[in-house]
């Protein structure tokens, strides 16, 4: 996120934590008339900060899908969203009526944007209703839950993706290309950092383990894990981890800051940093013949980076979430690759669980068998 959008984010976070992300603070958005709605219909489940300020506006920019429905536990939001996005009454659900979405042909994809501990329940219900599923990150709060989501989607023969928007983002795709083609030789060391301060809002669900499954690691830490893996193009084979707390009274239920070190099959090593108390947004890969880095690596963009050749990594900015949802729609309709399959969300939860295990055991090395 830029400085300006970070400020907007913090402002809107305050409101969302109050329970209702008020649409009146939203950037102006014009709903498309029905005749211009293209592609697959998406229903957003959970109309908090991310749906309000990123996903719904992005769905006005998509080509292969559009905002068709909403699922909310807050009745006041129904009318506001209905008017703002021209959503038919029949496509509006609450958490109790959600399962009746099975009969609604206008909804093809259900996008679950709820607190992490609610992902599995709603993704499984969406699959049972025969809808394709996008599950926000982290995919769930445990490996077991991720496996249950994958099994439900498989059983229902529906497609599943995780909300790792950066796989559709051009700067990130350039980093993935460097790793794949070994443009600067083999990566020997990778360092990734992702975090932001979340102080000032002690009642937010992200600090409540029952709803979040964990703190910084579950929130931005999964991005640091992602970056370490796509920045080198390999899955790690072991991890050691440490936890730090400067304010245990505030971060009493969830982790404040975590560092972890990976070993990769190629012999490369990596380190990740994540925090709910420090701003961090970087990916750096040291290679045999040079280096590449993104020093805005994980936020909503525009991202930015450079390489040891002296060139800038820079591409025109588009909303990452619009690119992400269009890619998933093309996967469903045209068999394009699923850039973020459920197996990727599951892999990351295996790493998350190993990191928490290592911390519990005083930083021991935990082997990873991720294939
Ligand atoms: P938020 O707090 O702004 O919104 C959460 C929504 O869930 C609200 O509409 C709230 O009413 C609803 N909700 C239902 N039951 C709730 C409960 N028991 N407690 C709290 N809220 C409840 O959160 P958000 O920032 O929109 O995050 C939602 C999901 O999206 C999370 O899984 C988060 O990790 C993910 N997310 C992903 C990205 C990304 O970059 N991919 C960015 C932000 C959030």
Is ligand 1 within 6 A of the CB of residue 222?
Answer: no
How far, in Å, from the CA of 116 to the mean position of ligand 1? 8
Closest C-alpha to ligand 1, atom 44 = 50
> What single DSSP character describes residue 267?
S
Which residues of the chain register pLDDT less than 70?
A: 1-36
Q: How high is the pLDDT of residue 26?
A: 46
What is the pLDDT, as a whole number, of residue 33? Answer: 62
DSSP code, position 185: B
pLDDT, position 1: 34
- Residue in 5, 74, 114, 138 to alter for ligand 1 test, most ligand atoms within 8 A of Cβ: 114
Whether the upstream peptide bond of residue 208 has omega within 30° of 0, thus cis, is no
205 CB within 6 A, ligand 1: yes
What proportion of the chain, given as a percentage, has pLDDT over 90? Answer: 89
The alpha carbon of 274 and the centre of ligand 1 are apart by a number of angstroms equal to: 19
Return the pLDDT at 368.
Answer: 98
Kindly give the number of the ligand 1 atom that is closest to the alpha carbon of 119. Answer: 32
Give me the phi and psi of 229, to 5 degrees please: -80, -45
Q: Strand, coil or helix: what is 71?
A: strand
Decide: 135 in ligand 1 pocket, CB within 6 A: no
Question: How confident is the model at residue 35, as a pLDDT?
Answer: 53
Which residues, in sequence order, are bridge partners of residue 313? 305
DSSP E strands, the chain: 40-45, 65-71, 92-93, 109-112, 132-135, 160-162, 187-195, 238-244, 257-263, 269-275, 280-287, 290-296, 304-307, 312-313, 366-367
Q: Which of 53, 85, 164, 223 is catalytic?
A: 223
**How many other CB atoms are found less than 10 A from the CB of residue 96?**
8
Both tokens of residue 315? Answer: 């591409």
Q: How far apart are CA 50 and CA 324, in angstroms?
A: 14
Pairing state between β 187-195 and 269-275 = parallel
| Residue closest to 342 by CA, chosen among 128, 191, 145, 91 | 145
| Dist. CA 126–CA 133, nearest whole Å | 7
Distance 233 CA to ligand 1 centre (A): 30
Task: List the structure tokens of 186.
Answer: 């083999």
Please indicate whether residue 93 is annotated as part of the active site: no
Q: CA 36, 39, 44, 48: dihedral to nearest 10 degrees?
A: -60
Q: Is 318 a catalytic residue?
A: no
CA distance readout (Å), 62 to 29, 159, 184: 14, 19, 34
pTM (two decimals): 0.93
């Amino acid at each position: 996120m830029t400085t300006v959008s970070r400020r907007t984010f913090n402002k809107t976070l305050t409101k969302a934590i109050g329970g209702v992300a008020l649409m009146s603070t939203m950037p102006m958005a014009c709903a498309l008339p029905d005749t211009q709605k293209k592609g697959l219909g998406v229903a957003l489940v959970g109309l908090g900060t991310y749906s309000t300020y990123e996903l719904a506006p992005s769905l006005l920019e998509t080509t292969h899908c559009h905002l068709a429905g909403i699922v909310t536990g807050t009745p006041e939001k129904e009318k506001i969203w209905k008017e703002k996005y021209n959503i038919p009454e029949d496509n509006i659900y609450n958490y109790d009526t959600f399962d009746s979405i099975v009969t609604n042909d206008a909804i093809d994809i259900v996008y679950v944007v709820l607190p992490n501990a609610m992902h599995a329940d709603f993704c499984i219900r969406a699959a049972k209703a025969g809808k394709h599923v996008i599950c926000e990150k982290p995919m769930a709060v445990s490996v077991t839950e991720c496996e249950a989501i994958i099994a439900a989607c498989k059983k229902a023969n529906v497609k599943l993706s995780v909300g790792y928007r950066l796989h559709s983002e051009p700067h990130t795709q350039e980093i993935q290309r460097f790793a794949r083609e070994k443009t600067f030789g083999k990566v020997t060391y990778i360092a990734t950092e992702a975090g932001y301060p979340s102080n000032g809002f002690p009642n937010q669900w992200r600090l409540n383990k029952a709803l979040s499954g964990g703190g910084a690691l579950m929130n931005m830490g999964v991005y640091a894990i992602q970056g370490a893996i796509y920045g080198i193009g390999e899955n790690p084979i072991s991890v050691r981890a440490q936890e730090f707390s400067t304010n245990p009274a505030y971060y009493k239920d969830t982790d404040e800051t975590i560092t972890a070190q990976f070993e990769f099959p190629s012999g490369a090593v990596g380190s990740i940093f994540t925090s709910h108390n420090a701003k961090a947004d970087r990916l750096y890969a040291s290679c045999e013949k040079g280096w590449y880095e993104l020093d805005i690596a994980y936020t909503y963009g525009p991202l930015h980076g450079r390489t040891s050749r002296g060139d800038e990594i820079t591409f025109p900015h588009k909303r990452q979430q619009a690119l992400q949802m269009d890619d998933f729609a093309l996967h469903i309709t045209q068999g394009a690759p699923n850039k973020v399959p459920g197996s990727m969300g599951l892999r990351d939860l295996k790493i998350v669980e190993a990191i928490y295990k290592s911390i519990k055991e005083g930083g021991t090395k935990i082997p990873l068998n991720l294939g």
